[in-house]
Structure 1
Amino acid sequence: METISKIELWADTHHPKWIDFIRMALGLFILYKGVIFIANTGALMEMMSNSDLQFFNLALAHYVAFAHLVGGFMIALGLLTRFAIIFQIPIMLGAVFFININQGFLSVSNNLEFELSLIVLILLVVFLIYGSGRFSLDHWMKNHPNW
């Protein structure tokens, strides 16, 4: 627990202001991907109909949609950022290593989905360490505890 406190203290003292705008853009991008994921439910259902584990796939699809919508919104606002990121990282690990890796790096056929997934995964790890920053609801609530 002491190590986590040291990492958080270091991140708070070495957190540039401009990186908060990257966090906001990351959250909005994840929110956008959640909306796109929900909009393409027909393709998702077709993909799941060929599978033996239909209930598991349906539960996984609901988890991904909910985590992207709520987590993206929370990351963009800077509200419980590390908590929201913890729910995003398994999704992005699955996207990078199980879904998009078969397409290949810089492949034209997948519209750079692998590269986007890898960049989002790296940014999630960065913000898991750095936290939400000064332009966030977490920072505002820490400075105004009795509001």
Structure 2
Amino acid sequence: METVKSLNKWANAHTSYPLDVLRIIVGVFLFWKGVSFMTNTEYYNQLVEPIKDLGGGMLIVHYVMAAHMVGGVMIVFGLLTRWSIMAQLPILLGAFLVNFIGEMHVGNLILSFLLLCVCVFFLFFGSGKHSADYYFKMES
């Protein structure tokens, strides 16, 4: 717990608008991907083709869509950002690794790697000073 407090203090002292804009862009992108997967199921089924034989395939499909949509909105507002990012990390790691299991898509590989790196950064950095987390913390 002390580590999280020290990370929050450091993040709040070093926060800036470009980092908040980056957090919002990541959240909007994740929400958009969740909606995209929901509306374009044929594309999504093609993406999960290499792992469809694993147990719980339908659970994975629903988890990815829900986590992207709900987590994306929470990241945009900076509400429980670290928890939302932790829900995204297995998905992003899977998106990165699925390129090595099935057919390699360089664009998807680069995009998933960059998004994974940004999410790991925000996992440690937090939501920053311009967020719902900071607002609610200051209210109490």
Normalising TM by the smaller chain, what interval? Answer: 0.7 to 0.9
> In structure 2, the residue corresponding to 1:100 is in which secondary structure?
helix
TM-score w.r.t. length of structure 1:
0.81
* TM-score (norm: length of structure 2): 0.85
SS in 1 for 2:57: helix
Match of 2:113 in 1: 118
Partner of 1:86, secondary structure, is: helix
Q: Tell me how large the CA RMSD over aligned residues is.
A: 2.2
* Separation (CA, whole Å) in 1 of partners of 2:9 and 2:115: 24
Change in 2 beyond 3 A, CA 1:45/1:129: closer
Q: State yes or no: 1:74 paired with 2:74.
A: yes
Q: Deviations over 1:124-145 (max 9, x none)?
A: 0111111111221111212223
Q: Aligned-pair distance for 1:52?
A: 4.0
Which moves more between the two structures, 39-48 or 120-129? 39-48
Count how many residue pairs are aligned between Structure 1 and Structure 2. Answer: 137
Which structure dedicates a bigger proportion of its chain to helix?
Answer: 2
Question: 1:85, 1:74 → 2: CA distance?
Answer: 9
Q: Which residue of 2 aligns with 1:59?
A: 59
Q: Which amino acid aligns with 2:27?
A: G
TM-aligned CA distance change 1:3 to 1:142, over 3 Å: closer
> Which letter does structure 1 place at the counterpart of 2:99?
N
Ranges in structure 2 where 5+ consecutive residues have no aligned partner: none
